[in-house]
Amino acid sequence: MKHTFEQLLAASDCLYDRDAVEQAIDRMAEKIRKDFDGQFPVFLTLMNGGMFFGARLALQLGIDVEFDYVHATRYHGTTTGSGLAWLRRPGAVIEGRPVLLVDDILDEGHTLKAVRDWCEDQGATKVKIAAMTVKQHDRCVPGLIADYIGLTVPDRYVFGYGMDVNEHARNLPGIYAMKD
């Protein structure tokens, strides 16, 4: 189903504007910089959603990192998840290295858990998760938490700043939620 920005915005509420999102990312970067001081972590962005957040976060970090990405998805261009598909695994050497997983949202966490577990299986010394948003509900995979959280969002369909609606509206500069 095709949507225009205008249609999506008319059917949604703005939760956070661009300034609020970027201020949250700046706060996260400060904490991450302290936690990874003196290390050379693999900065592993989950595509496609983590791209905007990851780029902004990386620019604010102030530490050297090795960039790579993973493309794993449960959505395949839809709004409901299914089985996990690995479209690309990272090429960076993970063994003996700290890893920072960077994603747009921690919702139920199935994809993040699979990627975190894979990094641990590859011999990462530690794996930390930076999530721009965390959805407020009780359906998250047990034991999975984000180490760095930018903003919390309600248990509604959210989009913008990397998050999509059927592959549309990722490039909206704020975070929006569909009206109930």
The pLDDT tens digits of the residues spanning 41-67 come to 999 999 999 999 999 999 999 999 999
pLDDT at 158 over 90: yes
CATH of the domain at 151: 3.40.50.2020
**Separation of alpha carbons 33 and 28, rounded Å:** 9
Catalytic residue among 107, 117, 138, 147: 107
Closest to 159 measured CA to CA, from 6, 2, 1, 9: 9
Residue percentage of the chain with pLDDT more than 90: 81
123: left (phi over 0), alpha (psi -120 to 50) or beta: left
How many folded domains does the chain comprise?
A: 1
Asked if 158 contacts 176 with a C-beta cutoff of 8 angstroms, the reply is yes
Does 16 score more than 80 pLDDT? yes
Q: What is the separation of C-alpha 172 from the centre of its chain, rounded to a whole number of angstroms? A: 15
pLDDT at 84: 77
Q: Of all helices (H) and strands (E), which one includes residue 45?
A: strand 42-46
The pLDDT value recorded for residue 1 is 52
CA-nearest of 157, 4, 173 to 79 is 157
Q: Is the pLDDT of residue 76 over 60?
A: no
Q: Is the residue at 87 inside a domain?
A: no
Q: Considering the entire predicted model, what is its pTM? A: 0.91
Does 51 map to a domain?
yes
Tokens representing 23 are 């201020």
3-state helix, strand, coil in the chain (%, to 5): 25, 30, 40
- The average confidence (pLDDT) of the chain is 92
- Residue 138 makes CB contacts below 8 A (sequence gap 6+) with none
pLDDT tens readout for residues 81-137: 557 788 899 999 999 999 999 999 999 999 999 999 999 999 999 999 999 999 999
- What are the angstrom distances between the C-alpha of 113 and each of 24, 84, 98? 23, 11, 16
Structural domain that includes position 22: 13-68+100-178
Annotated catalytic residue 107: yes
Q: Does any domain span residue 106?
A: yes
d(CA 159, CA 166): 10
Q: Quote the distance between the C-alpha of residue 11 and its chain's center.
A: 24
- Asked if residue 171 is part of any domain, the answer here is yes
